[in-house]
Amino acid sequence: MDAKEPSPPAADARSAKFQPIRSARAFEEIAQQIRGELSQGRLKVGTRLPSERALSEQFGVSRNTLREALRSLEHAGLIRLQKGASGGAFISGRSGDAIATGLMDMYHMGAIQPAQLTEARIWLESILVREACARATPADLEALAANIDAAEEALRRDDFPARAATNLEFHRILARMTGNPIMVIVMNGVLNVLAEFIGQIGHEENAYVLPSRRRFLKHLAAKDADAAVAEMESSLKRLQRSYLSKVGEDAAQDAPAAAPAAPRKAAARAPAEKPATKPAAKSATRAPKTAR
């Protein structure tokens, strides 16, 4: 349950049509039926589901089985469980939280490595920037300018947590400018993991970031998508190299570019080996010197 989410007015769930459960994995079928009622429009965001007693009777299951199903839906971000006299199970409007939670769990388990995280962030950002260029309003540009000012103020105060949070908010603003909830949800998830990663590697002086943001904002205001993307990618790739160097992943990230280095190194060693073979081949008169 998200304590900050306001309690919506209880909506009527009497139109929902639940059937008795006959599956051995009853909690999964309960969750599937509730999802089905949502897709049919008989349940909507803010709807309060019937009481545990009423639901368990409708599904024909024990309350423990019902609670297991409700907990699985809560973890998926589909419902919100609220305690108290006005509490109950509510259909949540924040199901995108499940994506962010899933990405964070993958990062903590090691399924997402820092190199993959920063790479995906660069790819996503390029899409966001192009759409933001096409859709930017004067209010959006003002919000980005205010964000840069706030980041500069945090830098003057030497407030690293505030600066890091403000810098990431810059990218959240860009995501919202697309007007696409999928991009907002995915980018928020990636940025949440990135914030965790940055917090782990610690303070970093990136003096080039804010000047780059100012240049980027000019390109955005001019609706020059190519220039804006180039500016953003240049800054993010520089940040990526800095981040990965702290965790020893810069070599892994640059592996494709570094592959041709082996022949060059071998060629560089070749001249050093030739002098050792030439004296013996030139004449036998130098053999005594070699022996000595």
- Long-range CB pairs of 55-59 (<8 Å, 24+ gap) are 55/18, 58/18, 58/20, 59/18, 59/19, 59/20, 59/21, 59/26, 59/30, 59/33
The pair of structure tokens assigned to 12 is 């009527």
* Torsional sign, CA 217, 220, 226, 232: positive
CA end-to-end distance (rounded Å), the chain: 84
Regions of the chain where pLDDT drops below 50: 1-4, 10, 250-292
* Residue 253 identity: Q
pTM of the model: 0.65
In the block, residue with structure tokens 């990136």 = 206
Residues 6+ apart with CB under 8 A from 221: 136, 141
Residue 133's identity, in one-letter code, is: C
DSSP state of 11: B
Per residue in 148-187, pLDDT (tens digit) is 999 999 999 999 889 889 999 999 999 999 999 999 999 9
Closest CA to 107 of 230, 184, 198: 198
Q: What is the DSSP string of 229-272?
A: HHHHHHHHHHHHHHHHHHHT-HHHHTHHHHTTHHHHHHHHHHHH
Residue 44 near residue 5, CB atoms below 8 Å: no
Angle between helices 225-247 and 114-135 (to 10 degrees): 160
Q: What are phi and psi of 11, to 5 degrees?
A: -95, 165
Contacts of 80 (CB under 8 A, 6+ apart): 1, 2, 5, 74, 89, 90, 91, 92, 94
Hey, is 86 helix, strand or coil?
A: coil
